Amino acid sequence: MTLQPPRSTDQAQRGLLALLPDGWAATRDPDDYEAALFRPLAAEFATIEASAFSMLPQIDPRHAPNLLPDWERMLGPDPCMASNPITDTATRGNLAYAKLTNAGTICAGYFERLALSVGETITITEFPASICGMSRCGDALNPPPGQCNILVTLPTTVVAKAICGVSTCGDSLGTFDHSVIECVIREGVPLFVTPYFSYTG
Mark which of 36, 69, 101 sits at the end of a domain.
Answer: 101
Q: Residue 49: which domain range?
A: 9-58
Residue 108 forms part of a structural domain: no
Among 23, 38, 58, residue at a domain's last position: 58
Q: What is the pLDDT of residue 1?
A: 53
Distances (CA, A) of 184 to 1, 80, 81, 108: 38, 6, 9, 13
Query: Cβ contacts of residue 129 below 8 Å, gap of 6+?
Result: 142, 143, 144, 146, 147
Written as one letter, the residue type at 100 is: L
In this prediction the pTM is 0.53
Q: Is the peptide bond before 145 cis (omega within 30 degrees of 0)?
A: yes
Is residue 4 a part of any domain in this protein?
Answer: no
Residue 157 belongs to some domain of the structure: yes
Q: How many CB atoms lie within 10 A of CB 33?
A: 8
Radius of gyration of the chain (CA): 29
Is residue 136 situated within a structural domain? yes
Are 126 and 95 in a shared domain? no
- Does a structural domain hold residue 19? yes
**37 and 22 in a common domain:** yes
Count of domains observed in the chain: 3
pLDDT at res. 144: 56
What is the rounded distance in angstroms from the CA atom of residue 200 to the CA atom of residue 163?
21
Is residue 50 located within the same domain as residue 126? no
What's the pLDDT at 44? 96
* 127 lies in the same domain as 198: yes
Q: Is 110 a domain residue?
A: no
Q: Are residues 142 and 90 in the same domain?
A: no
Adjacency order of strands within the sheet including 194-200: 123-126, 149-155, 194-200
Check residue 104 and give left, alpha or beta (phi > 0: left; psi -120 to 50: alpha). left
Give, for all 201 residues of the chain, the pLDDT tens digit. 577 889 999 999 999 988 888 877 777 777 788 888 899 999 999 999 999 898 888 889 988 888 899 998 888 877 776 666 777 888 888 888 888 887 666 678 888 888 888 788 899 988 776 666 666 665 655 555 556 788 899 887 666 666 677 777 766 666 667 788 888 888 888 888 889 898 875
Instruction: For residues 125 and 180, state if they share a domain.
Output: yes
DSSP-based three-state secondary structure for 111: helix
Alpha helices in the chain (DSSP H): 9-18, 33-36, 39-55, 68-75, 79-83, 89-101, 108-117, 180-188
18 and 79 inside one domain: no
Look at residue 148 and tell me if it is in a domain.
Answer: yes
Whether residue 73 is found in the same domain as residue 143: no
Whether residue 81 sits in one domain with residue 29: no
Same domain flag for 21 and 87 = no
Same domain, 126 and 160: yes
CA distance 12 to 195: 58
107 part of a folded domain: no
pLDDT at 11: 93
